[in-house]
Amino acid sequence: MKANISIRKVFGAVSFLWVSSLGGAGLAFLTQVVLARELTPAGYGVFAASLATITLVSPLAGFGVQGFWLKLFGAEGWHAIRWLPPSFRFVFISTFSTLFFITIWATWGPHDATVQRLLYWLSSVVVGSLFMELVSGKLQLEERYKMLALWHILPNLSRLLLVLLVVGVAAQPSLVDIAAVYTLTSLFLVVVGFVHLRAMAHGRFTLKGHTKPIATEVDKKAAEVRLGLLDIVRGAWPFGLSGVFYLLYFQSDIILLKYLVGSEAAGVYNVAFTIMAAVYLLPSVIYQKFLLPKLHRWANHDRTRFLQVYRIGNGSMLLFGGLATVVLLLLVPLIVPLLFGSAYQSAVSLLGVLVFCAPVRFLATSVGATLVTQEHMQRKIFYMGAVAVINLSLNLLLIPSFATMGAAVATLMSECALLALYLIAVRRHVFGAEAWRGWTINFKRGNE
């Protein structure tokens, strides 16, 4: 009975997160549909490439602090509070440095005045994304999944409503008008996020899975070792590089298409990218929003549960990824022209390649989640960096000759390479021979 209650609780939490995240992703997807239909493929490509550029450097702000928090609190519990003050100082310095870099690139980079203005406006997305990540980490530690879901839905909803307002008011909305919408949404995240983080800095939050010690014990632990910015850098850099490498092989092709082929090619490819990003929502919700804090805790304190979750996760993700591929192959020829318009018909052939990334990405998310825990993160960073180099090399090799199709093939090959590296690493360094067996195992225990 206890096990059934626990399974129902887990299923309920994951289902709620998935449905709410699906709603948020649906809102983001509709925003892209509106932009694609209102803008020309070339204009849409310019905006998509500019936004991808900002998104690519966004992980430099904070540079992995959110992921580092999850690891710290999973291992140290409430004593990890001592890491917060230097973390906030590091966040401020890294964010200022990132904005300075964007300003330099926008001012002297190889682009026209329109792209320059877009980069200036969209630089606010860096700060908004930072607050989104930090507050998400806090809510994950608290296991406040309803609030976490709301936190991810509100920006997408406000962005869609503002885009619709701009489109409705302006006969021909400019790219800068659209960028201003993203700036307003980022300001909202900063204001609300500041309230959450201020409370966290003063210890006013609930850490699930750990008993809160008396104040003197926490103070004593904090006084034992004085922490500085270098301590944050040493702990957070693997998580920061993880975000950079992920975006490098996930979104760099849009930027390269814009500069190597043209804005229209970038716009068409971004339609295919948007659809696949929506598909990848399921494993992202399960592992990044629900399981990640628990995996850190189980890796340190419950190895049996850690292995069980790994096994059942692999089997489930492989199954769901395969189903997603079949569904997309059937629906893509219908939904692309229906939603985005006939100007983006060529995205259908791109999705004919990219849909096969789904089972690979789903399984890689499950396998790779184990490498975030304990001392394995640096190994994961090495593999992601290697695949980022592979992806960039393939894009530079294939895009000049095959344009968007070359980018799609490079993406599929990169996904397969990353999965292969993860599987080898987990067998060698985490679970040994158990890593490739028992992927259909069920939960046996009821404790969280």
DSSP 321-355: HHHHHHHHHHHHHHHHHHHH-GGGTTHHHHHHHHT
Confidence of residue 374 (pLDDT cuts 50, 70, 90): low
When divided into structural domains, the chain yields a total of 1
In a domain, residue 443? The reply is no
Domain that holds residue 12: 2-436
In a domain, 189, yes or no: yes
Is residue 285 included in any domain, yes or no?
Answer: yes
Query: Residue 61 corresponds to which amino acid?
Result: A
Give Cα 323 distance to the centre of its chain: 22
pLDDT band at 293 (very low <50, low <70, confident <90, very high): low
User: Is the per-residue pLDDT at 1 higher than 50?
Assistant: no
Task: Name the burial class of residue 312, with classes exposed (0-12), middle (13-18) and buried (19+) by CB atoms within 10 angstroms of its CB.
Answer: middle
Asked whether the CA dihedral 278, 366, 61, 408 is positive or negative, the reply is negative
Q: Is residue 124 part of a domain?
A: yes
For residues 226 and 166, which has the higher predicted lDDT (pLDDT)? 166
Does residue 448 lie within any of the structural domains? no
When the pLDDT of each residue in the chain is averaged and rounded to a whole number, the result is 84
Q: What percent of the chain has pLDDT over 90?
A: 42
Residue 400 maps to a domain: yes
Give the pLDDT confidence of 125-169 residue by residue, as tens digits.
Answer: 999 999 999 998 888 888 787 788 888 888 999 999 999 999 888
Instruction: Evaluate if residue 431 carries a pLDDT over 90.
Output: no
Model confidence pLDDT, tens digit, residues 85-112: 999 999 999 999 999 999 999 999 888 8
444 belongs to a structural domain: no
**Which of 199-208, 359-368, 435-444 has the least mean pLDDT?**
435-444
d(CA 314, CA 112): 46
pLDDT for 350 equals: 95
pLDDT at res. 444 = 45
Contact 189, 159 (CB under 8 A): no
Q: Is residue 446 included in any domain, yes or no?
A: no
Question: With bands split at pLDDT 50, 70 and 90, how would you rate the model's confidence at 12?
Answer: low
